[in-house]
Structure 1
Amino acid sequence: MPRPLTRAQIAELYRRLAEDRPTPKTELNYDSAYTLLVAVALSAQATDVSVNKATGPLFAVASTPEAMVALGEDRLASYIKTIGLWRTKAKNVIGLSQKLLDDYGGEVPADRGALQQLPGVGRKTADVVMNEIFDAETIAVDTHIFRVSNRTGLAIGKTPDAVGDRLLKVTPPAYRKGAHHWLILHGRYVCKARTPACGACVLREGCCHFPQKTPAPKPAR
């Protein structure tokens, strides 16, 4: 297991990620707090690309809790059948939409605890919504962030919650708002699961304790 990064190394890690991607943002398509909530709930064990392909047509006909409940579980399912776990997700999206209508007047609550009471909404989904919509300094831990945090030594933990708690402790305040996006995009495009692109990684030297780095490309002659 990699040894933890020092405080100075952590600050430098975020500085490099921020320089590499100055304006990070989610790759899920949405136009409101509600459509982001639905998109993130659908993204569990699915790619953002596959979710966007499904939600484009879906949100064209149902982009509010009222419209989604009126659409119904069976018709909703027909839009998201290309996404993994679509039956369960269809049930949860209808359930969370109904609960938003019953308890919050159709509005998405700006409270992580309240969000986690919605059907199908766990800590990761709630943290994404809190960060993206309400500017909360939360760090939602998915498989990419879990991998980057443990590989580099940024935040070592055996569970996503443990890594998330550690990230909130070690991430400098200036970087907390963007940390989720920087880490997820770095994990998605550079620090990949099977073949990490260590040779192209801005963290390779001095900010990563991963012992099995892939070789840097040889200079052209």
Structure 2
Amino acid sequence: MNPTIETLLNHRSIRKFKDIPLTEEQRDTIITAAQQASTSSYMMAYSIIGITDQQKKAALAEVSGQSYVKNNGHLLVFCADLHRATVKADQQDYEKMLENLENSEHFLVSAIDAALAAQNAAIAAEALGLGICYIGSLRNNIQQVDDLLSLPQHVIPLFGMVIGVPDHQPDRKPRLPKEAVYFENEYQPHEKILDRFDDQIQDYYKSRDSNKRLDSWTQQMLRRFTNTMRMDVTDFVKRKGFNKR
């Protein structure tokens, strides 16, 4: 099999790392790969912050509630960044730019650009034999993360990524069947496919090596969307000059 495809198909989230920091060469390779990701209209509307200050790392781990945010080879925080586009603007130009800076289109663009860069970084890290895990729980207190990283207006933290030498090999979690995510020409109903996937997920949770439980994918989604969470994010995003229009 093509080694790139094999790397993609073997992805799993790693949450336990050996106490080995990434080398400077590894970090540079991962960031350079991230920078080669596709970007809308050449905006490159993201920034990546590598956390080397152990106190900041510990504070981010406390926000996340996950010990592996502190205990890893390296921690990256991916940010949507429209600030860079404004640095050469005078006040008159900046006021003209605001309508675009604050609209939903450019909020989506900056978030997508950051996600594309992050996935390039993830694939590069895994190709180097490292493991990764995305950290959305940094948004548990998005204002605190913003303060810790001294982010200017029009820059917001989206998610983190921990990287390091794996210290476990977790089971690969099943993904939705192709028929549930890929449709030709128009959206297709797929409730029966989800029923079969629920059966598969129940078997997976009962048979995996750790954290066995009785659960299904649709039950997880019901819990996710019937319990409010991170309701402060909307106001924070608008205060930072995103998604206001």
Higher relative contact order, chain-length normalized (CA < 8 Å, sep 6+): 2
TM-score by length of 1: 0.24
**CA radius of gyration, larger in:** 2
Going by fraction, where is strand more abundant, 1 or 2?
2
Quick check: which one's helix share is greater? 1
